[in-house]
Amino acid sequence: MKDIFFILPRKDFAIERARNFLKEKGYPQVPMPVKKHLKEYSTLYKYEDDEEEGFCVKETTGEYKVYVNTNIMEGRNTWTYAHELAHIVLGHHDDFPYNDLDDETLELLDQEVDIFVSEYLMPQYAFENYFFLKGRSAYLDSPHIGALKSFFNVSWEAMIFRLHNLGYQDKSISEYYISTYNERKQTFSRYTGFSYT
Ligand SMILES: [Zn+2]
């Protein structure tokens, strides 16, 4: 195993790779065409299993084969495809001896992948486009976060985290709005006899 001269995860490296990738692709509109992008770099195979969501193999010919578990929930597909794409674009299969890595290193490489995926699936330019078209509210309540989540086709957790990282709204505030939303909605309609959806 060759020496590793840097500390994982390489946050700036992962962000820069994701931004360059988006630039190369001409800044695609969201939801990101992840499957299309992945197919440009690899051949997709489907399999059924109860554990792993997917994995990627680099053949000695240099060809990438990505195996995607069809048992996983539909909504997770995007993230799984993006995860495998990130491993390829970040050069993990080229720079690391995948079969010899310990769990800790694999975990750190997956953290690098998460940084890439967040940047790739939820690029800042797409938020700016969204706010430009839909207007930017003073604060992002549960329905706003839900709309953004659908727009980008990601999970609640991923969206809350991304909003925090981009400085749009603190993570704890988003969590507060989401956890109290139903209660606040009921209180509001009880006082006014009016319900908003
Ligand atoms: Zn992984």
Average pLDDT of 10-37? 97
113 alpha carbon – ligand 1 mean position (Å): 7
Look at residue 96 in the predicted model and tell me its pLDDT: 87
Q: How far is the CA of 48 from the centre of ligand 1 (A)?
A: 18
Give me the chain's average pLDDT, please.
90
Give the E-state strand segments of 5-125 in sequence order. 43-47, 54-58, 64-69
CA of residue 4 to ligand 1 center, whole Å:
19
CB atoms within 10 A of CB 41: 14
C-beta of residue 66 within 8 angstroms of C-beta of residue 38: yes
Q: 194 pLDDT exceeds 80? A: no
Range from 20-34, 85-99, 180-194 carrying the lowest mean pLDDT: 180-194
How would residue 5 be classed by pLDDT, with cut points 50, 70 and 90? Answer: low
Report d(CA 18, CA 177) in Å as an integer.
30
CA distance 161 to 148: 12
CATH (residue range 11-121):
1.10.10
Question: Locate tokens 């925090």: which residue?
Answer: 164
Model pLDDT for residues 135-152, shown as the tens digit of each residue: 888 999 999 999 999 999
What percent of the chain shows pLDDT beyond 70? 91
CA 104 to ligand 1 center in whole angstroms: 12
What's the CA-to-centroid distance between 38 and ligand 1, angstroms? 14
The strand pair at 54-58 and 64-69 is best described as: antiparallel
26: left (phi over 0), alpha (psi -120 to 50) or beta: left
73 — pLDDT class (breaks 50, 70, 90): low
Q: Is pLDDT above 80 for 21?
A: yes
